[in-house]
C-alpha cells in the first residue's frame, strides 16, 4: 500500500504526514511544490506543482490525499485542483481523499465554490473517493482573540471549529484504516463557541463596514458574516468518531 500526500510543506499536510508515519509502516510519499522545504526523513519526495500538471506524478499510488491549495483567486484554485484530479485519474490512483469544507455542496461560504467544484470533478472521474470536509481551524481565530480588544461582526454567532491538528489526525486515520470508500465526512469540532463568550469583556460588537474601513481583508469579513448567520455553528459527530475522542476546545 502506497500513500501519497500533497501540500506536505504546509501546516495541515505536514501534520498528516507525521500522523500517518506514526500509524503505519506502509510506503509514504509526498508531492510538494518546494522540496527544499520538506525536511522529514523516511519519506519519498516528488516535486509537483498544481499549476504545472506535467510535474505531478501520482503513479503507483493506492491512496492519494489532495490537500486543497491556498491561492486566494477561486478560479486559480479550481484549476489547480482540477489539474491534480485529472492526474490522479490518468495515473490510475486507487482512492482519492480531498480536504474540502463543511457542507461544500450547499454552503453559502464564499470558499465553498472551490471545494464544490473539486468534489464534482473527483466524482466525475469515477475513482473511489473520500471527502474530508474540514470545518474551520481554531487557529484562524487565535490572533483576533489575542488582541486587547476583540472587535468582530459575528455577534453571538457560534463556530464549531477544531484544532488543525485534530483535523490532520482525522485525515491520517482515514488514510490508514479501511472503510472510507465514497464517504463524505463533515469534520467539525465537538463543541461550538462564540466570540463574546470566549473574549468576554474584550469583545466589541462592530459592523462588517467598520471592519472593512479598518482594513480587514474582505474574505475575513465574509467569514465573520457567515459566523453571524450561523453557517459554521453546527456540531457534527464525524471528527470525534474518526479520532476516537472529542476534539480539543479553543483555548486563548
Residues of this chain that bind ligand NAP (CB under 6 A): 7, 9-13, 33-34, 37, 49-51, 67-70, 80, 99, 134, 136-137, 140, 164
Rounded CA-CA distance 75/92 in Å is 26
Contact predicate 94/129, CB 8 Å: no
Least distance CB 99 / ligand NAP (angstroms): 6
Residue 19, classed as helix, strand or coil, is helix
Distance CA(49)–CA(57), nearest Å, equals: 10
Give the residues across from 203 on adjacent strands.
Answer: 150
User: Whole-number minimum distance, CB 72 to ligand NAP, in Å?
Assistant: 10
* Least spacing, CB of residue 81 vs ligand NAP, in Å: 9
Q: For residues 105 and 158, is the Cβ–Cβ distance under 8 A?
A: no
Q: Whole-number minimum distance, CB 37 to ligand NAP, in Å?
A: 5
Give the containing element (helix H, strand E) for 211.
Answer: helix 208-213
Round to whole Å and give the CA distance between 3 and 26: 7
Per the DSSP assignment, residues forming a β-bridge with 214 are: none
Q: Which is nearer to ligand NAP, 25 or 143 (CB)?
A: 143
- Give the residue nearest to ligand NAP (CB): 10
Tell me the closest approach of the beta carbon of residue 74 to ligand NAP, in angstroms.
Answer: 11
At its nearest, how many Å lie between ligand NAP and the CB of residue 8? 6
Nearer to ligand NAP by C-beta: 4 or 67? 67
Q: How far is the CB of 20 from ligand NAP (least distance, A)?
A: 15
Cα distances from 99 to residues 13, 150, 169, 235, in angstroms, run 10, 30, 13, 18
- Based on CB atoms, which residue is closest to ligand NAP, 164 or 228? 164
The H-or-E segment that residue 101 falls in is strand 95-101
**Whose Cβ is closer to ligand NAP: residue 10's or residue 189's?**
10
Nearer to ligand NAP (CB atom), residue 32 or residue 173: 32
Q: What distance lies between CA 209 and its chain's CA centroid?
A: 28
- Taking the alpha carbons at both ends of the chain, their separation in whole angstroms is 40
Place of cell 474582505: 218
By beta-carbon proximity to ligand NAP, the closer residue of 9 and 194 is 9
The smaller minimum CB distance to ligand NAP, of residues 32 and 151, is found at 32
Amino acid at each position: 500500500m502506497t500513500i501519497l500526500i500533497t501540500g506536505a510543506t504546509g501546516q495541515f499536510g505536514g501534520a498528516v504526514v507525521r500522523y500517518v508515519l506514526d500509524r503505519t509502516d506502509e510506503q509514504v510519499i509526498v508531492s510538494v511544490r518546494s522540496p527544499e522545504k520538506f525536511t522529514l526523513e523516511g519519506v519519498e519526495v516528488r516535486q509537483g506543482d498544481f499549476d504545472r500538471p506535467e510535474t505531478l506524478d501520482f503513479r503507483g499510488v493506492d491512496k492519494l490525499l489532495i490537500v486543497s491549495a491556498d491561492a486566494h483567486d477561486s478560479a486559480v484554485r479550481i484549476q489547480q485542483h482540477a489539474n491534480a484530479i485529472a492526474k490522479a485519474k490518468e495515473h490510475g490512483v486507487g482512492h482519492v481523499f480531498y480536504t474540502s469544507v463543511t457542507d461544500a455542496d450547499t454552503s453559502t461560504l464564499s470558499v465553498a465554490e472551490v471545494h464544490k467544484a473539486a468534489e464534482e470533478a473527483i466524482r466525475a472521474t469515477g475513482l473511489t473517493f473520500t471527502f474530508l470536509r474540514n470545518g474551520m481551524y481554531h487557529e484562524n481565530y487565535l490572533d483576533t482573540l489575542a488582541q486587547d480588544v476583540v472587535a468582530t461582526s459575528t455577534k453571538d454567532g457560534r463556530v464549531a471549529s477544531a484544532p488543525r491538528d485534530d483535523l490532520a489526525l482525522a485525515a491520517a486515520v482515514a488514510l490508514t484504516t479501511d472503510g472510507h470508500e465514497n464517504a463524505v465526512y463533515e469534520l467539525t469540532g465537538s463543541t461550538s463557541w462564540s466570540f463574546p463568550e470566549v473574549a468576554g469583556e474584550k469583545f466589541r460588537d462592530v459592523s462588517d463596514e467598520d471592519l472593512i474601513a479598518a482594513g480587514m481583508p474582505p474574505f475575513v469579513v465574509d467569514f465573520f458574516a457567515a459566523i453571524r448567520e450561523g453557517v459554521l455553528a453546527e456540531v457534527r459527530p464525524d471528527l470525534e468518531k474518526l479520532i476516537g475522542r472529542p476534539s480539543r476546545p479553543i483555548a486563548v
